[in-house]
Every structure is written in structure tokens, then in C-alpha cells.
């Protein structure tokens, strides 16, 4: 059965929702599912913007066939060739052999690399600023390299103000009938998954997102809809989401607040994290969030690290090094280019307490534009009452820094 929704009078969402995929990119948990968005324009010419993951291809085909209602498909615009969107391209070519494919040089290269038989079809290679008319609608193609692959582009429909934004402005989470961001409580129910999606998938490429945002700023008054490849479509309050993207891609925190990420083997380092949290709240800083790095997926840790201004790393010493899960979290921060945070350190160990110095060295040498507070809580095995002054000094230093 087809399942489509109108975006505007002659533009339709023809994508699909996926609740069966456990791990997006086989790495990121998606307990709320994900949507693969594709859009069909019915103008003098019929135009499909992107396709879907192979697992959702049948739904896409039913949706497109229903709306075409006997017409043929004239154009396929491929903004992004990662397989969660491009895997069904070849099937569209088989079903609609006369379709003209519009995409970038690199995207056509990827299609061939993936083994798609495209060369018997009409391929229209476009680059920054090229335009195409489909009848009433005229679109402009805008390069968006590394948002999130090098071939990516976005397409702007100058007739109705629709920006087909590819991976930009996407989110984890299945739509389940609710197509528009204003049909859900986005700030309550979606923002965490949107942040987790962007920061983990495209976090490394903040400068490239900034370049795209600058291009969008030039036509901001003309953008009426943002149609991403995942998650809700935006038609109201666009600046709310654009502002979030601006913060994330500049590596600036959204909020002043403290994340305490702890690695604890027997509960003693966790007890120190809890004691610090209590002290911070007592001293008036209550935007405090505790995460056990062993039980929290690193993508969630990364998302929260992008959200908050201050990060406390509390780690046991393990094999004379940083606890492996904590080390993995730090490595992910480096991989995703996270910057501009203030850190504090709690270290623990029963004979050779090394984790504090090693975490400090990692932050100093491997991460960019970070500050580490001088105060450190160092403990041997457990936090005993003789450490109350050290704990208090650490809490005072964090509070002072948060309140700056
Ligand atoms: Fe949703 Fe980069 O693909």
C-alpha cells in the first residue's frame, strides 16, 4: 500500500520509515527508527528527488507509481549517493528506463563504484549554480561537499522555496505519519536525536556545514521549506534549527552545563561523580548530567558533549592507562573534531594512579581549543572524607568557570 504525504501542492514525500534497523551505518543505535526521505514533484515533468535504502525500495516504488498514476518518471535528482539514499537508484532506472539522472560528477563515479549500470541512461552532470527547469519549477544546484560525503549537493527550488537539503537538517527517528517538524514537539522529543545524528555523522565536517550555512544565509528569505533526507520537514521556525546547526558546526556549546562522564569498575569512581554532582547543585549549578561511559553508547556521549559547555572526566586507571571505554570516548571526540570545551578531571587507581595525567595529555595533545581546570580530584580506591576539601575545590573551580 502506498504511503505518501503532500509537502506543497505538487510536491510529495514518497519515502519510508524503518523500525527494523537496529544500528544506523551498522554502528549507531536507533531505538526510535529512522526515515529515508525521498520527494516527488509533479510538474510538466515528473521529478524524483533521491531514493531510499534498499530495504525500503518496495515502499518507494509503490509510492512513486501511485502518484505518477500512469505518467512516466522524467527526472531523478540524486543529491547524495550514500546507500541509505542511493541504493535504489538502479532499480528506478530499471523501472523507468527513459528517466534522466541529474547529479554531480562524483556521485556518478560512486554509482559506478557501487556497480550500478548507469551508462546506458541519460546522465546530466551538474555543478554549483547550474539550473534546470521542470516546467513551472526551476531549481538551482548547490555543492555541499562533505555534508556528508564529497559528492553531496543540495537542490533549491526557486519557484516554491523548497530546499532539498540532503543529509543536512536531518535527524534519527522514524516519522510515523508526522511529516512536519511543527506536527511534533521537536524541542522535547526530537532534538536529542537530531543532535546525535548530526554530531556523530557529520561532526567532523563542521567547517563544511558552515560553508553550506553561509550559502543558505544568502537566500534565507527565499527558503520556505527544508526537506532533508532523514526526519521531519521544516516549514515553520526554520531559524530554531538553523541556529542549532550553527552551534554544532562551530563546535560551540548550546548550553552552560556540566556533563560528568565516569568510568567506574566497582562503584567508587561513580560515588565520586555523584558527590561532585551534589556539590555543584548545592553551589547553584544544577544543569548537571551524569553518564556511565560503560553503559551509554558513545554516540550519546558525543551528542551530550556537543550540547554542554563543561565536561568532567572521571576515570579509573586500567592496565596503567585510561579505562578503555573512556579512551574510546576521547578518541571519538578527536575523530569528530570537538573543540571549545572546559574539562575537569577525577582520577582513581588502587596502586598507580595514572588516568588523570593520561587524560590531561590526551586533551592537551590530541584535541583542539580545550581548557583543563587546574583543580583535580585524585583518589586511591575510594573517595574518603579526607578528600572533602579537594572535592570542594574542584566543585568551586567548575562553578566559577560555568558562571563566567
Ligand atoms: Fe543519510 Fe550520508 O546519508
Residue with the smallest CA separation from ligand 1 atom 3 is 82
The reply to whether ligand 1 has any atom less than 6 angstroms from the CB of 90 is: no
Task: Output the CA 85–ligand 1 centroid distance in Å.
Answer: 7
Region 286-314: mean pLDDT is 98
- The pTM (predicted TM-score) of the whole model is 0.96
In terms of C-beta density within 10 A (0-12 exposed, 13-18 middle, 19 or more buried), how is residue 346 classed?
buried
Give, as one character, the DSSP assignment of residue 190. I
Kindly give the distance from the C-alpha atom of residue 255 to the centroid of ligand 1, in angstroms, as a whole number.
27
CA dist 350 and 372 (Å) reads 24
Ligand 1 near 152 CB (within 6 A): no
CB 81 near ligand 1, within 6 Å: no
What does the pLDDT average to over 282-289?
A: 98
Please check whether residue 277 is in contact with residue 225, taking contact to mean a CB–CB distance below 8 angstroms. Answer: no
Pocket of ligand 1 contains residue 85 by CB under 6 Å? yes
Give the burial string for 52-83 (b: 16+ CB within 10 Å, else e): bbeebbebbbbbbeebbeeeebbbbbbbbbbe
pLDDT digits (tens, 9 = 90+) for 72-114: 999 999 999 999 999 999 999 999 999 999 999 999 999 999 9
Of 40, 44, 113, 33, the C-alpha closest to 77 is: 40
Name which of 263, 257, 358 is nearest 305 in CA terms: 257
Indicate if ligand 1 lies below 6 Å from the C-beta of 229.
yes
What spacing in Å lies between the alpha carbon of 195 and ligand 1's midpoint? 15
Distance 276 CA to ligand 1 centre (A): 39
C-beta of 167 in contact with ligand 1 (< 6 A): yes
Please state, in angstroms and rounded to a whole number, the distance separating the CA atoms of residues 86 and 173: 19
Handedness of CA 2, 5, 9, 10 (dihedral sign): negative
Give kind and range of the element (H or E) at residue 321: strand 321-322
* Per-residue pLDDT tens over the stretch 138-194: 999 999 999 989 999 999 999 999 999 999 999 999 999 999 999 999 999 999 999
Q: Which atom of ligand 1 is nearest to the CA of 152?
A: 2
The verdict on the CB of residue 84 being under 6 Å from ligand 1 is: yes
pLDDT of residue 148: 87
Q: Is 82 in the pocket of ligand 1 (CB under 6 A)?
A: yes
CA 302 to ligand 1 center in whole angstroms: 18
Q: Please, are residues 343 and 373 in contact by the beta-carbon 8 Å criterion?
A: yes
Q: How far apart are CA 154 and CA 140, in angstroms?
A: 9
The whole-angstrom separation of Cα 264 and Cα 362 is 19
CA 395 to ligand 1 center in whole angstroms: 41
pLDDT tens by residue, 10-37: 999 999 999 999 999 999 999 999 999 9
CA 271 and chain centroid, separation: 32
Structure confidence at residue 129 as a pLDDT band (50, 70, 90) = very high
Q: How many helices (H) and strands (E) does the chain have?
A: 12, 22
DSSP symbol at 295: T
Whether a cis peptide bond, with omega within 30° of 0, leads into 148 is yes
pLDDT tens digits, 216-275 = 999 999 999 999 999 999 999 999 999 999 999 999 999 999 999 999 999 999 999 999
198 lines ligand 1 (CB under 6 A): no
For residue 82, give Cα distances in angstroms to 50, 90, 188, 293: 10, 13, 29, 30
Q: What is the distance in A from the centroid of ligand 1 to the CA of 5?
A: 22
Q: Over 90: is that where the pLDDT of 199 sits?
A: yes
**Beta strand segments in 4-137, E:** 5-8, 11-13, 16-18, 23-24, 28-29, 34-36, 39-42, 46-49, 75-77, 100-103, 123-125, 131-133
Would you say the CB of residue 18 lies under 6 angstroms from ligand 1?
no
Cβ of residue 87 lying under 6 Å from some atom of ligand 1: no
- Mean pLDDT within 365-378: 98
- SS3 per residue for 136-183: CCEEEEEECCCCCCCCCEEEEECCCCEEEEECCCCCCECCCCCCEHHH
The contacts of residue 260 (CB under 8 Å, 6+ apart) are 273, 276, 277, 288, 289, 290, 291, 312, 314
Please report the domains of the chain, with CATH numbers, ordered by start residue.
Answer: 5-249 (3.60.15.10), 255-402 (3.40.50.360)
pLDDT tens for residues 311-346? 999 999 999 999 999 999 999 999 999 999 999 999
Q: In angstroms, how far apart are the furthest CA atoms of the chain?
A: 80
Asked if residue 148 has its Cβ within 6 Å of ligand 1, the reply is yes
Exposed / middle / buried, residue 1 (Cβ in 10 Å: 0-12, 13-18, 19+): exposed
Kindly give the number of the ligand 1 atom that is closest to the alpha carbon of 202.
2
Give, in order, the Cα–Cα distances in Å from 353 to each of 317, 374, 403: 6, 17, 31
| pLDDT value for 91 | 98
Distance (angstroms) between ligand 1 centre and the Cα of 185 equals 24
Order of all β-strands in the sheet with 39-42: 5-8, 11-13, 39-42, 46-49, 75-77, 100-103, 123-125
Ligand 1: distance of its center to the CA of 204 in Å? Answer: 14
Contact 254, 265 (CB under 8 A): no
- Going from the Cα of 167 to the center of ligand 1, the distance in angstroms, rounded, reads 5
The reply to whether ligand 1 has any atom less than 6 angstroms from the CB of 195 is no
Amino acid at each position: 500500500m502506498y504511503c505518501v504525504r503532500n509537502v506543497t501542492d505538487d510536491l510529495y514525500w514518497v519515502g519510508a520509515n524503518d523500525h527494523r534497523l537496529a544500528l544506523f551505518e551498522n554502528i549507531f543505535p536507533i531505538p526510535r527508527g529512522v526515515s529515508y526521505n525521498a520527494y516527488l514533484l509533479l510538474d510538466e515533468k515528473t521529478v524524483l528527488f533521491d531514493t531510499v535504502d534498499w530495504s525500503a525500495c518496495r515502499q518507494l516504488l509503490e509510492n512513486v507509481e501511485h502518484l505518477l498514476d500512469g505518467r512516466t518518471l522524467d527526472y531523478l535528482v540524486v543529491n547524495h549517493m550514500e546507500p541509505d539514499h542511493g541504493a535504489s537508484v538502479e532499480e528506478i532506472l530499471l523501472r523507468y528506463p527513459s528517466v534522466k539522472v541529474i547529479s554531480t560528477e562524483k556521485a556518478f563515479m560512486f554509482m559506478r563504484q557501487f556497480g550500478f549500470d548507469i551508462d546506458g541512461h541519460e546522465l546530466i552532470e551538474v555543478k554549483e549554480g547550474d539550473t534546470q527547469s521542470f516546467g513551472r519549477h526551476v531549481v538551482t544546484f548547490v555543492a555541499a561537499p562533505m555534508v556528508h560525503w564529497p559528492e553531496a549537493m543540495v537542490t533549491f527550488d526557486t519557484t516554491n522555496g523548497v530546499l532539498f537539503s540532503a543529509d543536512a537538517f536531518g535527524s534519527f527517528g522514524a516519522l510515523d505519519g508526522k511529516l512536519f517538524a511543527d506536527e511534533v514537539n521537536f524541542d522535547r522529543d526530537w532534538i536529542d536525536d537530531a543532535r546525535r545524528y548530526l554530531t556523530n555523522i557529520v561532526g567532523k565536517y563542521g567547517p563544511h556545514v558552515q560553508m553550506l550555512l553561509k550559502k543558505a544565509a544568502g537566500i534565507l528569505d527565499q527558503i520556505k521549506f527544508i526537506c532533508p533526507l532523514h526526519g521531519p520537514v521544516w516549514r515553520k521556525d526554520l531559524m530554531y534549527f538553523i541556529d542549532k546547526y550553527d552551534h554544532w558546526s562551530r563546535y560551540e556549546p548550546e548550553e552552560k552545563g556540566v556533563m560528568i562522564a565516569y568510568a567506574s569498575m566497582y562503584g567508587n569512581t561513580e560515588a565520586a561523580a555523584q558527590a561532585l554532582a551534589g556539590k555543584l547543585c548545592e553551589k547553584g549549578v544544577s544543569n548537571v548530567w551524569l553518564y556511565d561511559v560503560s553503559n551509554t553508547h558513545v554516540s550519546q556521549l558525543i551528542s551530550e558533549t556537543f550540547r554542554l559547555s563543561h565536561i568532567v572526566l572521571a576515570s579509573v586507571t586500567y592496565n596503567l592507562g585510561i579505562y578503555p571505554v573512556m579512551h574510546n570516548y576521547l578518541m571519538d571526540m578527536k575523530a569528530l573534531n570537538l573543540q571549545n570545551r572546559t574539562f575537569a578531571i577525577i582520577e582513581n587507581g588502587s596502586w598507580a594512579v595514572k588516568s588523570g595525567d593520561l587524560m590531561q595529555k590526551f586533551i592537551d595533545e590530541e584535541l583542539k581549543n580545550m581548557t583543563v581546570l587546574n583543580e583535580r580530584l585524585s583518589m586511591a580506591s575510594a573517595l574518603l572524607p579526607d578528600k572533602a576539601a579537594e572535592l570542594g575545590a574542584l566543585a568551586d573551580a567548575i562553578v566559577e568557570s560555568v558562571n563566567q
